[in-house]
Amino acid sequence: MPTMRGDAMRGLAVFISDIRNCKSREAELRRINKELTNIRQRFRADKTLDGYQKKKYVCKLLFIFLLGHDIDFGYMEAVNLLSSNKYTEKQIGYLFISVIMNSSTEMKQLIIQNIRNDLQSRNPIFINLALQCVANIGDREMAVAFTNDIPRLLISGDTLDAVKQSAALCLLRLHRTSPDSLQLNTEWTARIIHLLNDQHLGVATAAVSLIDALVKRSPDEYKGCINLAVSRLSRIVTSSYTDFQDYTYYFVPAPWLCVKLLRLLQNYPPPDDPSIRSRLNECLDTILNKAQEPLKSKKVQHSNARNAVLFEAINLIIHMDCESSLLVRACNQLGQFLQNRETNLRYLALESMCLLATSEFSHEAVKKHQETVINALKSERDVSVRQRAVDLLYAMCDRSNAQDIVQEMLTYLETADYTIREEMVLKIAILSEKYAVDYKWYLDIMLKLIRIAGDFVSEEVWYRVIQVVVNRNDVQSYAAKIAFEALQAPACHENMVKVAGYILGEYGNLIALDPRSTPLIQFDLLHSKYHLCSPTTRCLILSTYMKFVNLFPEIKHHIQDILRHDSNYRSSDVEIQQRATEYLKLSEVCSPTVLATVLEIMPPYPEKQSPLLVRLKQKKPLMESEGAVEPTSSATTTPVTVYIDDVPKLADTAQQNGLLVSLDTPESNGHYEDSTFSSMTKPATSTVQSNKKFLLKNSDIIFENELIQIGIKGETTKSSMEIELYYGNKSNFNMTNFSSNIICTGELESELRMNMEPTKATIDSRAQIKQSGTIDCLKDFRDLPKMSITFYYNNMPQKIDFSFPIYLNKYIEKATMDSNNFFLRWKNLEKSSQEFQKIFPANFPMIYDDCHQKLEGFGWSSLTGIDVNTENFCGAGIIHTTTQQIGCLYRLEPNKQAKMYRLTIRASRDGVAKRLVELLEDQF
Closest-CA residue to 754 (of 741, 737, 765): 741
How far apart CA 120 and CA 114 sit, in angstroms, is: 10
Q: Is 56 annotated as a binding residue?
A: yes
The burial class, CB within 10 Å (0-12 / 13-18 / 19+), for 417 is: exposed
To the nearest 10 degrees (0 to 180), the angle between helices 612-619 and 459-471 is: 160
CB 388, CB 376: distance < 8 Å: no
Closest-CA residue to 727 (of 768, 773, 774): 768
* C-alpha torsion 62→66→70→76, nearest 10: 20
Closest-CA residue to 448 (of 472, 483, 417): 483
How far apart CA 910 and CA 779 sit, in angstroms, is: 13
The burial class, CB within 10 Å (0-12 / 13-18 / 19+), for 468 is: buried
What is the enclosing helix (H) or strand (E) of 786?
Answer: strand 786-793
Q: Is 10 annotated as a binding residue?
A: yes
Alpha helix ranges (H) inside 453-513? 459-471, 476-487, 494-507
Closest-CA residue to 559 (of 520, 512, 509): 520
Side-chain half-sphere CA neighbours of 820 within 13 A:
0
Instruction: Compute CA distances 529 → 415, 493, 514, 538, whole Å.
Output: 27, 10, 22, 9
Instruction: Compute CA distances 393 → 386, 461, 627, whole Å.
Output: 11, 20, 9
- Bridge partners of residue 772, in order along the sequence: 724
Q: Is 238 helix (H, G, I), strand (E, B) or coil?
A: coil
Q: Is 60 annotated as a binding residue?
A: yes
Q: Is 59 annotated as a binding residue?
A: yes
CB 870, CB 893: distance < 8 Å: no
| Residues listed for the chain | 924
Instruction: Starting at the earlier edge strand, list the strands of the sheet with 708-717.
Output: 699-704, 708-717, 720-729, 768-777, 752-756
Q: Is 450 helix (H, G, I), strand (E, B) or coil?
A: helix
Contacts of 2 (CB under 8 A, 6+ apart): none
Using CA of residue 25, residue 27, residue 30, residue 34, what is the dihedral sign? Answer: negative
Question: How are the residues of the chain apportioned to helix, strand and coil, as percentages rounded to the nearest 5?
Answer: 55, 10, 35
* C-alpha torsion 274→277→283→286, nearest 10: -70
Q: Are strands 252-253 and 699-704 parallel, antiparallel or unpaired?
A: unpaired
Side-chain half-sphere CA neighbours of 298 within 13 A:
0
- Bridge partners of residue 199, in order along the sequence: none
DSSP 557-618: HHHHHHHHSHHHHT-SSHHHHHHHHHHHHHHHHS-HHHHHHHTPPPPPPP----SHHHHHHH
How far apart CA 495 and CA 575 sit, in angstroms, is: 19
Q: Is 52 annotated as a binding residue?
A: yes
DSSP 373-426: HHHHHHH-S-HHHHHHHHHHHHHH--TTTHHHHHHHHHHHHTT--HHHHHHHHH
* Phi and psi at residue 644, to the nearest 5°: 50, 35
Using CA of residue 416, residue 417, residue 422, residue 427, what is the dihedral sign? Answer: negative
- Binding site membership: which residues? 10-11, 52, 56-60
